[in-house]
Structure 1
């Protein structure tokens, strides 16, 4: 199947929002998505973008049964390691179910790895749900390391009331 990988454009944000919602269903967290395409436009295509995104697009003869030509995306952003320097965090990698197994996910991830290389980043980092064996197997097959097992790192989060309470402690 023919497809291309390209940088997302502001007009892709409705498709990206759609696929974020599809991903949330796959990850068994459908009620968690609180972002809209308008926020995606603001945060990714303003003067100081918070994220970068690539999309996978198929030609007209391969569009989805729902009429979508944008069938996958990878959303990432730059981070910094005090030990290693520049890094990239891959927040989402998603391919619509009917288009999986055709090399699109691999192409999206390899394209982010290429960005890492071009930007002289030391690491490409990501998180995967512990039950998501297909994704874990895919990442491990490409050489990913599970830092929970090898180094004992835990991924932590502050949000909602915990984040607000912590902010109130600032001088």
Structure 2
């Protein structure tokens, strides 16, 4: 999905590692003696942030969970996700939310195996987004005309 990246390394450093970060992250590493043949010690990561709902209160949103292919199937993804859930509960959150690409069946199966479910099947809610020109128009008070 490299063609969809719209941020820079500097953005990530500023947004995640400044005095008031917009997100938090965890990294799973192996001891030096278990590095990959390419020399990688970091085998997975998760990025998360806190959110609030006027209906359900505090929640934690898992933005990204990634485990290098050669380390999948060993409980690393589950451990990272479990740690985010633990941190969320400690912060008073009552739910963990995240998105999954429709085509990513292995991830969907993984999340279902942990008791997670697809909230988009709830006919009462849609997940919405505003970005680009529409976002700028909203800021300026000139939303685009609709038919």
Fold-level similarity (TM above 0.5): yes
Mean alpha-carbon deviation: is it higher for 121-130 or for 143-152?
A: 143-152
CA displacement at 1:33 relative to structure 2: 1.3
CA displacement at 1:67 relative to structure 2: 1.5
CA displacement at 1:168 relative to structure 2: 1.1
Match of 1:68 in 2: 40
Match of 2:110 in 1: 138
CA displacement at 1:61 relative to structure 2: 1.7
Aligned partner (choices 13, 29, 33) of residue 41 of structure 1: 13
Q: Return the structure number with greater relative CO, CA threshold 8 A, min gap 6.
A: 1
Runs of 4+ in 1 over 3 A off after TM superposition: none
> 1-side partners of 2:75 and 2:124: how far apart?
32
Match of 1:20 in 2: none
Query: What TM-score comes out, normalization by structure 1 length?
Result: 0.78
> 1-side partners of 2:141 and 2:50: how far apart?
27
CA displacement at 1:57 relative to structure 2: 0.5
Q: Which runs of 5+ in 2 are unaligned?
A: 143-147
**Residues 1:93 and 2:68 are matched in the alignment:** no
Match of 1:22 in 2: none
Q: Which runs of 5+ in 1 are unaligned?
A: 1-28
Match of 1:166 in 2: 138
> 1-side partners of 2:53 and 2:71: how far apart?
35
Aligned partner (choices 85, 89, 92) of residue 120 of structure 1: 92
The root-mean-square deviation of aligned C-alpha atoms, in Å, is: 1.4
| Residues paired across the two proteins, number | 142
Q: Which has the higher helix share?
A: 1
CA displacement at 1:151 relative to structure 2: 4.3
